[in-house]
Chains A and B, each alone.
Chain A
Amino acid sequence: MQKTDKTVREPLVHITKRPDMPLFPALLIRLCAILLALIICALIIFWLTGLNPLAVYKAMFEGSFSSTRKIWNFLQNTAMLLCIALAVTPAFRMRFWNLGAEGQVLVGGLASAAVMFYVRDSWPSWLLILVMLISALAAGIVWAGVPALFKANFGTNETLFTLMMNYVAIQLVTFFIAVWVPTGSGVLGVLNQQSQNGWLPAVFNQRYGLNVLIVGILTVVMFIYLRYSKHGYEISVVGESENTARYIGVNVKGVIIRTVVLSGAVAGLAGFLLMAGAAHTVTAELAGGNGFTAVLVSWLAKFNPLTMILTSMLIVFLQKGSGEIAQAFRLSSNISEIMTGIILFFIIGCEFFIRYRINFRKKAEEEK
């Protein structure tokens, strides 16, 4: 009496991997995602605060672009985030999950600050800057190199190792500030504020000009290095399969260490630029969480340095915009964080629809 045929019931929805989507529809999906995110945000803003969403979006835009100062500030923040993203990218392409950029940037900044703190005005500016740069690079290399050595020699987990190194770096900064500042205030303050000795010089008449220029050049160099150099190819092969790499005669251990050293050096450079080109001091918040945000920037851009320009701009635009919204409408910072969260959710979420196809159960099959 009962039906006993063993037809496998197809679920209502199932997911299959797409072949690579052509560029145009992929862009369209991303655009839709941003639009939808903005619409949802508008609804939420209106529902929670009764404000006009268009006015809110205007404030968001003004956060980055309403004055020359804001534009340069936007460029500086983008450049710094991009620089840190460039630091993690070579390691990521090798599937070495370096989550220690925050700490590597911090020790870079700390090393530069240490040089400036002890030298003060007794060296000429160019020499001071040079020594600060070298010590920042060295510090970044050491901070990234230790986990790399352990990974290459003992197979330790680099994710946890690099993550832990962040906290060591934060404590180290706190420690040195306590040593350097006998009043116990925990604030080092701007170094060489009067003489500006060891501060990066202004370029294009802009104090952040040099930072932006250096990171711009670095981005192109990194793109070429990863895409067209032998090293870049080795990185990709090791990332795909260590065994294949070994088979074709790549020195896997060497490549891991070399690449992570590069990662650390670029992170150290970011610390140097932050310290000598902007903050002129060191605090535990020098990197300000960008060491982690950079992971997002790099991933969103699929580890492509040129695309990372766009993703870092997007993130900084959201950060600046949400701050401006909070100021313009006297909202607490939470509302802007909610907005940023929603927008990022959609942007990351749409990647799913680009990579996978959602199949609904076909009617024709049901009728059978």
Chain B
Amino acid sequence: MKKLLAALLAVIMVLSLTACGGNNDTTKAPEADTTKAAEDTTKAPEPDTTKAAEVTTEAPAADYSKIKIGFIFLHDPASSTYDNNFYQAALEVQKELGLSDDQVIFEWNVPEGPACYETAADMADKGCNIVVADSFGHESYIIQAAQEFPDVQFCHATGTKSRTQNLPNFHNAFASIYEGRFLAGVVAGLKLNEMIESGKIKAEEAKIGYIGAFPYAEVVSGYTSFFLGARSVCPTAFMEVTYTNSWFNIALEKEGALTLINDGCVLISQHADSEGAPKACEENGVPNVAYNVSTINLGPTTALISSKINWAPYYKLAINAVANGESFDTDWCGTIATGSVELTELNEAAAAPGTAEKLAEVKAQIEAGTLKVFDTSTWTLNGEHLTEYLADVIDNGDYVPETNVIVDGAFVESGEQFRSAPYFDIMIDGITEYGK
């Protein structure tokens, strides 16, 4: 028996040695200063009065002590830029409103299945009065939880069903990210112009490559607005799209980027959640426009800019409403004006000179309403300018388009009268699918 113990101990020692060699960082939550946050809570959960004072300047005095908000993530923010974008906004809001760690809880890697309902219900059991889920496929399960807990507000990003559910506590939210994409497209178009002027490519070689996740309206709307932005400054631009059929797949996204580069694309953008494409672009010296996070660290010489949705304004809206006992929109769309649509830092080392000025000019036009991203005079379908288009705005599960969304000479995306989640699903002239 003694010998047995000795042997066991030997195994343990070896084990503990290898364990000690492990990387400290991997066990910590991404970029969050967990140790600091933990210290803060151990000190005292008293509300930070100075910060609360700041908030009162914009909203009526709100008491956040009863707020508890739970966040459900599809993936781990350590690797997924999409989830990280939600996570960083949550941390920002927590800090700004002076919420304690007990008031803001996170659950990673929640699949789009019954586990999502279980997590949401468990958060409600734990006293959350707001639950936020970040993935499209979570929607059915969040609705299920919303039906069971009428006093808890359930917020779901990118979803389409709130307008057909008639549940006052089930909320969809999105942002007019197509405006951000259009601006990012302008940056890309100027870069193409620079490449043409320097003789690197010919005008007719201004081919953009785009890696999309699914052939879904959210993606189509994203790449179309990006493309229209690029073409608004570089008229010869055209685009090729490939899909990974996954929201997060590093290998496929990298492979997609390489395929497009080999097919003659001189600039790449993507709507997928990993770092696969930006890295492949940096390795091949191809300019890249990203989404959700700045990728300058991944591509110091090739990353141009990223468009992103800033979720913080929406979180604050929901928290303030609940704190004040008010109701809030069941379908909400953020804009540039609400601070929900942003561009990350422009990489001056990679972007064409004069980009910042042009960007400010176009942004002002969008904000003033003089420039409409999906202005039907700027694009065609089979050579024709559309005057009417039926989209499947009312999601009652039938997939039948029923609503005309072209108003006053423009396709109204994420329109207040329609729905926050995108429904632009037209493959316009100038964009082709790889292999088709």
Q: How far is the CA of A48 from the CA of B16 in the complex (A)?
A: 12
Q: Output the nearest chain A residue to B71 by Cβ-Cβ distance.
A: A327
Q: How far is the CA of A67 from the CA of B124 in the complex (A)?
A: 12
| Chain B residues positioned under 8 Å from A193 (CB to CB) | 140, 143-144
Known contacts A67-B125, A286-B113: A183-B34 contact under CB 8 Å: no
Within 8 A of A (CB), among B24-65: 24, 26-30, 32, 34-35, 37-38
The 12 listed contacts between A and B (C-beta, < 8 Å) are: A40-B16, A40-B19, A48-B24, A67-B125, A190-B141, A281-B140, A327-B106, A330-B38, A332-B76, A342-B15, A342-B19, A358-B3
A255 CB → nearest B CB, Å? 36
Known contacts A50-B35, A190-B140, A330-B32: A70-B122 contact under CB 8 Å: yes
| Chain A residues positioned under 8 Å from B360 (CB to CB) | none
The interface-forming segment of B5-13, B174-182, B277-285, B340-348 is B5-13
Q: How far is the CA of A146 from the CA of B111 in the complex (A)?
A: 30
| Chain A residues positioned under 8 Å from B101 (CB to CB) | 330
Chain B residues with a Cβ closer than 8 Å to the other chain, count: 57
| Chain A residues positioned under 8 Å from B28 (CB to CB) | 49, 331-332
Q: How far is the CA of A191 from the CA of B214 in the complex (A)?
A: 21
Within 8 A of B (CB), among A309-346: 323, 326-327, 329-335, 338, 342, 345
Contact A174–B106 (Cβ < 8 Å): no
Known contacts A67-B125, A69-B121, A358-B3: A335-B144 contact under CB 8 Å: no
A210 CB → nearest B CB, Å? 14
B388 CB → nearest A CB, Å? 20
| Chain B residues positioned under 8 Å from A221 (CB to CB) | none
Q: How far is the CA of A322 from the CA of B15 in the complex (A)?
A: 20
Contact B214–A32 (Cβ < 8 Å): no
A346 CB → nearest B CB, Å? 9
Q: How far is the CA of A326 from the CA of B107 in the complex (A)?
A: 7
Q: How far is the CA of A137 from the CA of B137 in the complex (A)?
A: 27
Besides A183-B217, A285-B113, 19 new A-B residue pairs in contact (Cβ under 8 A), listed by A number: A44-B19, A69-B122, A69-B125, A184-B215, A190-B140, A190-B141, A193-B143, A283-B113, A285-B111, A323-B107, A326-B107, A326-B108, A330-B37, A332-B26, A332-B29, A332-B30, A338-B19, A338-B27, A345-B15
Contact B425–A183 (Cβ < 8 Å): yes
| Chain A residues positioned under 8 Å from B27 (CB to CB) | 48-49, 331-332, 334-335, 338
Which 7 A-B pairs have CB atoms at the shortest separation, nearest pair first? A190-B140, A184-B215, A187-B137, A335-B27, A185-B216, A184-B216, A278-B114
Q: Output the nearest chain B residue to A207 by Cβ-Cβ distance.
A: B114
A59 CB → nearest B CB, Å? 12
> 1/0 per position for B209-230, CB-CB distance to A under 8 A?
0000111111000000000000
Contact A36–B30 (Cβ < 8 Å): no
Q: Output the nearest chain B residue to A187 by Cβ-Cβ distance.
A: B137
Q: How far is the CA of A326 from the CA of B110 in the complex (A)?
A: 12
Q: How far is the CA of A70 from the CA of B119 in the complex (A)?
A: 10
Contact B118–A360 (Cβ < 8 Å): no
Known contacts A278-B114, A332-B29: A186-B7 contact under CB 8 Å: no
B329 within 8 A of A: no
Contact A338–B22 (Cβ < 8 Å): yes
Q: Output the nearest chain A residue to B218 by Cβ-Cβ distance.
A: A185
> 1/0 per position for A43-73, CB-CB distance to B under 8 A?
1100111110000000000000001011001
B253 within 8 A of A: no
Q: Output the nearest chain B residue to A13 by Cβ-Cβ distance.
A: B7
| Chain B residues positioned under 8 Å from A49 (CB to CB) | 27-28, 34
Q: Output the nearest chain A residue to B41 by Cβ-Cβ distance.
A: A330
| Chain A residues positioned under 8 Å from B78 (CB to CB) | 332, 334
Within 8 A of A (CB), among B81-114: 101, 105-109, 111-114
Q: How far is the CA of A358 from the CA of B38 in the complex (A)?
A: 46
A353 within 8 A of B: yes
Q: How far is the CA of A334 from the CA of B24 in the complex (A)?
A: 11
Q: How far is the CA of A67 from the CA of B32 in the complex (A)?
A: 29
Contact of B112 among A187, A342, A358 (CB under 8 A): A187
B327 within 8 A of A: no
A349 within 8 A of B: yes
Known contacts A47-B20, A279-B113, A358-B7: A183-B399 contact under CB 8 Å: yes
A254 within 8 A of B: no
Within 8 A of B (CB), among A279-299: 279-281, 283, 285-286, 288
B354 within 8 A of A: no
| Chain B residues positioned under 8 Å from A353 (CB to CB) | 4, 7-8
| Chain B residues positioned under 8 Å from A331 (CB to CB) | 27-29, 34
> 1/0 per position for B196-217, CB-CB distance to A under 8 A?
0000000000000000011111
| Chain A residues positioned under 8 Å from B125 (CB to CB) | 67, 69
Q: How far is the CA of A283 from the CA of B115 in the complex (A)?
A: 13
B383 within 8 A of A: no
| Chain A residues positioned under 8 Å from B111 (CB to CB) | 283, 285, 288
Within 8 A of B (CB), among A156-214: 174, 178, 181-187, 189-190, 193
Contact of B214 among A47, A186, A190, A338 (CB under 8 A): A186
Q: How far is the CA of A279 from the CA of B19 in the complex (A)?
A: 38
| Chain B residues positioned under 8 Å from A183 (CB to CB) | 216-217, 392, 399, 425
B389 within 8 A of A: no
Contact A332–B108 (Cβ < 8 Å): yes
Known contacts A285-B111, A285-B113, A360-B3: A67-B22 contact under CB 8 Å: no
